[in-house]
Structure 1
Amino acid sequence: MLTRLILALENKELEASIEQNFAPSDIQVECHGQQKNPWHNAVQSCGDIIVISESFIPRPVDSSINQLNNLPEAPTTVVVHDVDSSEEHARLMAAGADVVLYSRVSLNNLIDTVQATLESRLQLVEFNHLARKKGPQPKLNDFISSSETMQLFINEVQLVAPSDSIILLLGETGVGKEHLAKAIHAESPRSSGPFIALNTAALPEQLLESELFGHTSGAFTGATRARRGAFELAHGGTIFLDEIGEMPLHLQTKLLRVLQDFEVRPLGGEKQIWVDVRVIAATNRDLQKEVELGNFRKDLYFRLNVMSLMIPPLRERREDVPSLSRRFLSLYKFKIAKNINHISKPAMTALSNYEWPGNVRELMNVIERAILLCKTDQITLDDLPSVFNTTSRQISPFMAPVIENVAFWEGKTLPEVQKIVMEQVEGAYLRMVLTKTCGRVGEAAKIAGIHSRGLYGKMKHLGIRKEDFK
Structure 2
Amino acid sequence: MLIRVVLALGDRELQRGLEEQIGLAEIEVEGLTGEADSWRQVVRSCADVIVISDSMIPAPVAGGIGLLAGLPENPTIMVLQTEHSAELQAGYIAAGAHSSLYSGISRERMIKALEGTIESRRLAMMRDRLDRRGRSVPKISDFTTNSEVMQLFMNEVQLVAPSDSVLMIMGETGVGKEHLAKVIHGESPRASGPFVAVNTAALPEQLLESELFGHKQGAFTGATRSRRGAFEQAHGGTIFLDEIGEMPLHLQAKLLRVLQEYEIQPIGAEKSSWVDVRVIAATNKDLEQEVNSGNFRKDLYYRLSVIKLNIPPLRMRREDIPHLARRFVMDFKCKIGRDIRQIAEPAMAALCSYEWPGNIRELMNVIERSMLLSRSGEITMENLPSAFLYATDKNVEEPVNGNLAGNWQAKTLQHVVSLMVEHTEKEYLCRVLAEHGGSIRKTADHAGITTRSLYSKMRRYDLRKEDFKKRKR
- The TM-score with structure 1 as length reference comes to 0.85
The reply on whether 1:383 has 2:400 as its aligned counterpart is no
1:352-431 to structure 2, matched below 5 A, reads 352-390=352-390, 418-423=412-417
1:237 counterpart = 2:230: no
Return the alpha-carbon distance in structure 1 between the equivalents of residues 287 and 230 of structure 2: 23
Q: Within 2, Cα distance between the matches of 1:71 and 1:466?
A: 59
Corresponding residue for residue 468 of structure 2: none
Question: Cα 1:165–1:426, aligned 2, differ >3 Å: closer, same or farther?
Answer: closer
Evaluate the alpha carbon distance shift between residue 96 and residue 318 of structure 1 in structure 2; reply closer, same or farther with a 3 A threshold: closer
Q: What is the number of residues matched between the two proteins?
A: 428
**Which 4+ residue blocks in structure 1 deviate beyond 6 angstroms?**
396-399, 439-442
In the alignment, what sits opposite 1:158? 158
Q: RMSD of aligned C-alpha atoms?
A: 2.8
2:469 alignment counterpart: none
| Structure 2 SS opposite 1:45 | coil
Q: Which amino acid aligns with 1:315?
A: R
| Structure 1 position 468 matched with structure 2 position 461 | yes
CA spacing shift, 1:286–1:121, aligned 2, 3 Å: same
Question: 1:123 and 1:188, CA in 2 relative to 1: closer, same or farther beyond 3 A?
Answer: same
How do residues 49-68 of structure 1 correspond to structure 2 at under 5 angstroms?
Answer: 49-59=49-59, 61-68=61-68
Aligned partner of 1:4 in structure 2 is 4
Gaps of 5+ in 1: 400-414, 443-455
**Pair 105,466 (structure 1): closer, same or farther in 2 beyond 3 Å:** closer
Q: Letter of the aligned partner of 1:47 in structure 2?
A: A
Q: Which moved more, 1:190-199 or 1:81-90?
A: 81-90
Deviations 1:202-234 (A, max 9, x none): 111111011101111122122111111111111
Structure 2: distance between partners of 1:386 and 1:325: 18
| 1:327-342 equivalence runs, <5 A | 327-342=327-342
Does the alignment pair 1:149 with 2:163? no
**1:34 Cα shift?**
3.6
Q: Relative to structure 1, is the Cα distance of residues 95 and 348 closer, same or farther in structure 2, using a 3 angstrom cutoff?
A: closer
Normalising by structure 2, report the TM-score: 0.84
Aligned residue number for residue 107 of structure 1: 107
Asked whether the 8 Å contact 2:61–2:95 carries over to 1, the reply is yes
Whole-angstrom distance in 2 between the partners of 1:416 and 1:200: 30
Cα distance in 2 for partners of 1:132, 1:145 equals 28
SS in structure 1 of the partner of residue 130 of structure 2: helix
Worse overlay, 314-323 or 329-338: 329-338
Name 1:204's counterpart in structure 2: 204
Confirm whether residue 128 of structure 1 aligns to residue 141 of structure 2: no
**For 2:125 and 2:312, how far apart are their aligned partners in 1?**
37
- What is the percentage of aligned positions where both structures have the same residue? 54
Which stretch has the larger CA shift, 30-39 or 228-237? 30-39
Deviations 1:112-137 (A, max 9, x none): 11111111111222233336274421
Deviations 1:374-413 (A, max 9, x none): 122121222111111128x9xx9999xxxxxxxxxxxxxx
Letter in structure 2 aligned against 1:167: L
The superposition leaves residues 238-275 of structure 1 with CA deviations (integer Å, 9 ceiling, x where unpaired) of 11110001100000011111111111111111121211
Q: 5+ unaligned residues in a row in structure 2: which ranges?
A: 398-408, 433-446, 448-452, 464-473
Residue 215 (structure 1) aligns with: 215
User: Residue 422 of structure 1: CA displacement?
Assistant: 3.0
Task: For 1:67-82, list aligned pairs within 5 A.
Answer: 67-82=67-82
